[in-house]
Structures are given as structure tokens and as C-alpha cells.
Amino acid sequence: MLAMRSANILLFTSLWLAATLAGACAGKPVDLKKDLEVTDVVTGWFDAGIVGGKNKLVPSISFRLKNVSSEPIASVQVMLTFRQVTDKDVEWGSAFARGIGPEGLQPGATTAPIVLRSERGYTSEAPRAQMLQHSQFVDTNVLLFCKYGSQTWAKLGEYLVKRILLTA
């Protein structure tokens, strides 16, 4: 048991060291706020189907990342935080994705659309279109962050989720 635990620690340490060295050898640091541009942003409320006998809508965002630097950019993670506009300090949902894979994004190139949704939303017996007009409906913002390697998360944008119904 102890030998197995030691082997796991050694394996983890080796992988961590290899990843750290690879990142250090990768070249100049990437300034995501300067080197990436968020384009083609579409927000709305996605029809998540019927849950517990009620219609469910969740906030959704679709966007692309464009490399506006003069160097390729690889391995960028994306994190979204959804917050109701009435309580900006409380997270109402989140989502993660790979924004740019290890193959990289060439200068001037744009990613395919990245679509992310909150797991939380509204449920109601009312028709979906009526849900968006309900007096207790609270608008939601989505904050978009990106991360490269071991750098800290960089906020690239904040968007109001429009009161439109999305089906795809």
C-alpha cells in the first residue's frame, strides 16, 4: 500500500514537473486580455426541455475567440460565471471548456463557436416565451474568463443574457 502511494506521488510529481518545464520552454508569456478578442457573442435563454413536469430555461452564451497577436496561442481554458443582475456577488451557475486546444490558434484565426450554458435556470408550467416576461424573472449576466497555463484567470468580458428564447 505504501509502495503504491509512493509510486502515485512520484508519477504525479513527474507529470507536474514535465508540464511546468514545458510551459517554461514555450516562449514568451501570453497576455490573454491583449492577445485574444471575444467575437460573435450571442446570449439568450436555452430551452433545456421539461424537468419535473415543468419547462426549463437556462442562460446560454455562444462566442468565438480570435487570436489578435502575432504568435500562435495554444491550450487556453474558458470559464463562465453566471450571476443574476440583482445579486452580483452570488454565483448562479458556471461552465468550463477548452477554448483553444494544444494544436493552437494561428495569428488572425478564430475558433469555432464555443457554446456554454449554466446548469441552473428557471422552471415553470407557463409556456417558455411567457417565462421570459414573468414579473419575477431576473436578468442574468455572464462573466467570461480565460486562462493560459498556470497564469491566473483573465476576465475578457461581461455580457447581459438577452431575453430571447434559444432552441439550439
Percent of residues, the chain, with pLDDT higher than 90: 71
Which pLDDT score, from 0 to 100, does residue 3 have? 45
pTM, two decimals, is: 0.80
* pLDDT higher than 90, residue 77: yes
**Residue 11: which residues within 8 A CB-CB, separation 6 or more?**
none
- Cα separation, 94 vs 72, in Å, equals 28
Which pLDDT score, from 0 to 100, does residue 111 have? 98
Which pLDDT score, from 0 to 100, does residue 167 have? 83
The 10s digit of each residue's pLDDT in 39-62 is: 999 999 999 999 999 999 999 999
Enumerate domains of the chain plus CATH numbers: 29-166 (2.60.40.10)
* 36: enclosing H helix or E strand: strand 36-51
Three-state DSSP class for residue 149: coil
Query: Which among 90, 146, 149 is positioned nearest to 118, based on CA atoms?
Result: 90
The 10s digit of each residue's pLDDT in 78-107 is: 999 999 999 878 888 999 999 999 999 999
Q: Give 34's DSSP letter.
A: H
The mean of the pLDDT values for the chain is: 86
Which pLDDT score, from 0 to 100, does residue 92 have? 87
* pLDDT higher than 80, residue 9: no
